[in-house]
A and B are shown apart, each in its own frame.
Chain A
Amino acid sequence: MKKFLLAALSFGVAGSIQAQSNFGQVSGNFGLDAQYYFADSLINAKEVQEKTRMNSFANINYSLGKFKAGFRYEAYLKPLQGFLPGWEGQGVMYRYAQFTEDKFDITVGGFYEQFGSGMILRTYEERALGYDNMLDGIRVKFNPYKGIYLKGIYGKQRLFWELAPGIVRGADAEIIVNEVLDSLMANSKTRVIIGGSFVSKYQDPTDVNYIMPANVGSFAARMNLIRDKWNLSAEYVHKVNDPSNDNGYIYKDGQGLLIQTNYATKGFGVSLSAKYIDNMSYRSNRYEGFTNVFINYNPALTRPHTYNLAATLYPYACQPNGEVAFQADVSYKFKKGSLLGGKYGASVAVNFSSANGLDSTKYNPENDSARKSYTAKFFMPGANKYFRDFNVEFKKKVSDKFKFTLMYAYFEYDMEVVQNLIGKGTIYSHIGVAELNYKVNKRNNLRMELQHLYTKQDKGSWATALLEYTYSPSWFVAVLDQYNYGNPDEHHQLHYPYFTLGYINNSSRISIGYGKQRQGLFCVGGVCRAVPASNGFIISITSSF
C-alpha cells in the first residue's frame, strides 16, 4: 500500500515539474459533501453524535503521451448518514497506471470495466451513492485486427477499504463483422456486431454448512443488428451454481436474457425492451449483502424519473433473484405550426414498464437433495406483480419567455419485494406534475414545480412545491417544500422545507442548503440508496481542473 502511495506521490511531483516544462498533463477533480445534523424527533431524525459528517475525494490524473497514471484520495469522516458504515476512514484505494499504444491497452491497479451490457461483468463507481465495485488487478485490451476487440481482466474487487476475498477473471471478445469482412460487406446496409464473454470467480470453498464450489463460471453471448432506422440487440448470460447469501445457498444455475430494440426517425422514436433474470446475483464474496462487490449489473427496465416525488418515494430496483420485465418508450415531436405544436413546437413522451416475479415451481424439499429449490419457466412472467409504471409527459414552449411540462404517472409498487419491508404490501399511486418556466431575460430565470402524489397506502398523499431562481451562469437559489398532508397519522402530517443557495464558476460549484429531508431513496441514474430523515445544514463543493 505504502509503495503505491509513494509511487502516486512521485507522479505528482513529476507532474508538477513537467506541467511547467509542457511535458505531460495533470488534471483532476475534487468533491466534498458535509452535513451538520440536528436531532428532530418529529421527522424521526436521530441525534448524530459527531454533529457533522463529511464525504470527500480528489482524483489526480497524470498523462504523458501513451502513459497515464493516477489515484483517488477519499475521506469519509464519518460517512454521511445513509452511507454504509464500512466507508468510514480515509486513504487511497484507487490508483492505476495505464499504457496505451495502437493495438494494446494495458492497465495495472484499479480499473472500471464492462463486458457487453454489463449483465455478466460491470465495475463502476457512483460516489453519490457510495457504490464502488472497482476491480484491482490487471486489464489488457487488444485490437489484433480492425473490428476485433479483445479484453482480459484479472483482479479482486474493492470492498470499502479492503479487497473482497474472491478472485475475478474474465475475457471478452467483440467483433464488428462489417469491418472484419469489409470486402464482402462493403455494400451491406446492415451492420452486424457479435460478442461473447467468459467470467469466473474463485473463492475459498471452506464453509461450515455447505460444500461450496471454489470456482463459479459464467458466460454470455450477444449480438447487435443495425439497419437504417432500426436497431436490435440481445444478450444471454448463464452462470453455474453459485450458492450465496442472496439466493439462500441454493445450487441452481442462473441465467438472464436482455433484448432491446429501437426505431428512430426525425421527430419520432420508440424503444422496446424485455428482460428475464433468474438467480443472477453474482458477487465476489458469496456472504456479502447490500450493494457490495457485485461482479455484474442487472439493469432495471424502468424509466428513471426526475421529479422528486416520482423519483424518490417508490423507485424500482432490479431483483437479481428473479424477475421478468418489459418496457416501451415512445417520443414524438409535434411540428411547429401544427395544432399542438403552435409557434414553437411541442413534444410528448409515453413510457410503460412492468416487472413481475418468475413463473416458478418449488421443489418438495424431500425431492430436492441437489438443493435447487425451484424451477422457473424461461421468460414467462409469474403472477406476482413487482412494479408497474405508466407515464405521459407533455412539453410545450408557449413563447420566448414561457414554457411548461406536464407529467402524469401511475405506479404500482410492491414494497415488500422491492424494499424488503415485510407487511407493507403494494402501493398504488397517481402522480401529477406541472413544471413552469419563465425566462425573465437572458440571465434571469424562474422555474416552478408543483407536484402531487395520491395514494391510500404507506404514508398517504404528498404535495410538493419548488421555486428556483437562477442568474446565469453563476447563481442559483431554490426553495422546496414537501408536505405529507395525507399521512394517516395526524402527528406525521409534516412539512419538509429545504432551502439551497449555490454559486458556479466554470467547473467549480459550491452550494449550501438548510432544511429537513424526509426518509427516502436517493437515486442517480436509476441506482438508489436509502437515506434516513435528517434536519441540518449541508455544504457541497465540486471542482475539476
Chain B
Amino acid sequence: MKKLLIPFVAFCLMAFTQVDNADLAVNDKKVPSVKVKTLDGGTFDMANISNDGKPIVISFWATWCSPCKKELENMAEVYEEWQKETGVKIIAISIDDARNSSKVKPYIMSKELPYDVYIDENQDFKRAMNVNNVPHTFLVDGNGNIVWDHNNYSEGDEEHLYEEIKKLVGKH
C-alpha cells in the first residue's frame, strides 16, 4: 500500500506545482539545452536557437506522420508573408529514427520547405519538451521563452498560430 501512496502523493503535489507554474509559465519556460543533429551530421544545442529577438516556431514531425507533413506544407505556402509581417522563423524537428532519418533531407528538399531542420533521432529533445505525440507545435518569443503550444494539426490551425505570432510582435 505504501508503494502506492508515495507516488500518488508525489503526483498530487505535482498537480499543485502545475497550477503554481501555470501563472508564471509565460515568463518562465525556456527552450531546454538539448543536442540534436543537423542535416550535415553535426550537433546543435537547441538552447542556442535565435532569431534576432523575433519569434520562432518549433514544429515536431516525422516522415511517417501525415498531419505533420500537412502542417509543414501548409505553413510553407504562407511563410513568406509571415516572415515579411513578423520576421518569424520556423524550425522543424524530425523525430525519425534510423529507419527513415535518411529520407528527411530528400523530403524537405523535394517539397522545397524553407525551414531550419534538425533530427532528434534519440528523441532527447522530444522528451525534454514533454511532447506526447507528433505533430506538436511550440511558439517561442524573442527572448527564448515558450509562450504557446498546440498538439495535433488540422487544416486551418496555422491561422491561429499566426494570430499568436502577431500578438507577440504587437501587430494584433
Contact = CB atoms under 8 A, between A and B. Distances in A.
Given A5-B7, A331-B111, A508-B151, A306 B65 contact: yes
B6 A264 contact: no
A105 B34 CA distance: 11
Nearest to B13: A12
Given A29-B132, A443-B156, A260 B102 contact: yes
Interface in A269-311: 269-271, 273, 297, 299-301, 304, 306
Given A20-B24, A191-B40, A542 B133 contact: yes
B10 interface: yes
Given A73-B10, A176-B41, A264 B123 contact: no
Contacts of A224: 41
B109 A439 contact: no
B111 A347 contact: yes
A473 to B, nearest CB: 5
A471 B2 CA distance: 46
Interface residues on A, range: 35 or more
A73 B11 contact: yes
Interface stretch (B51-59, B81-89, B92-100): B92-100
Interface residues of B, number: 71
Interface stretch (A44-52, A113-121, A209-217): A113-121
B109 A266 contact: yes
B157 interface: yes
Contact of A273 (B102, B127, B149): B102
B168 to A, nearest CB: 16
Given A26-B21, A504-B152, A526-B100, A271 B6 contact: no
A193 interface: yes
A116 B104 CA distance: 17
Given A26-B21, A58-B11, A91-B7, A333 B112 contact: yes
Interface in A420-449: 437, 439, 442-445, 447
A264 B41 contact: no
B111 A5 contact: no
Interface string B121-133: 1111001101111
B28 interface: yes
Interface string B97-115: 1111011011111111000
Interface in B50-76: 62-66
Contact of B24 (A19, A100, A265): A19
A183 B16 CA distance: 54
Nearest to A127: B132
A383 interface: no
A262 B105 contact: yes
Interface in B13-52: 13-14, 16-18, 20-22, 24-25, 27-30, 32-33, 40-43
A265 B100 CA distance: 18
Interface stretch (A59-67, A481-489, A491-499): A59-67
A304 B100 contact: yes
A69 to B, nearest CB: 13
A333 B113 CA distance: 11
Contacts of B160: 472-473
B159 interface: yes
A470 interface: yes
A193 B43 CA distance: 12
B136 A507 contact: yes
Contacts of B24: 19-20, 22
Given A29-B132, A542-B151, A347 B110 contact: yes
Nearest to B152: A504
Contacts of B131: 29, 544
Contact of A124 (B6, B18, B123, B157): B123
B13 A13 contact: yes
A87 interface: no
B42 A268 contact: no
A542 B160 CA distance: 21
A90 interface: yes
B130 A27 contact: yes
A6 B33 CA distance: 27
Nearest to B25: A545
Contacts of B33: 100
A142 interface: no
Contacts of A473: 150, 154, 156-157, 160
A415 interface: no
A112 B97 CA distance: 13
A36 interface: no
A526 B155 CA distance: 25
A2 interface: yes
B156 A73 contact: no
A331 B73 CA distance: 14
Given A119-B98, A191-B41, A526 B64 contact: yes
12 contacts: A6-B6, A22-B24, A25-B29, A31-B132, A176-B43, A264-B106, A266-B109, A299-B99, A333-B112, A525-B99, A525-B100, A545-B130
Given A15-B17, A269-B109, A507-B136, 11 more contacts: A2-B6, A16-B14, A25-B28, A117-B98, A263-B106, A306-B66, A331-B107, A473-B150, A507-B150, A544-B132, A545-B18
Which 3 pairs, one residue from A and one from B, show the smallest C-beta to C-beta distance?
A: A269-B106, A472-B156, A264-B109
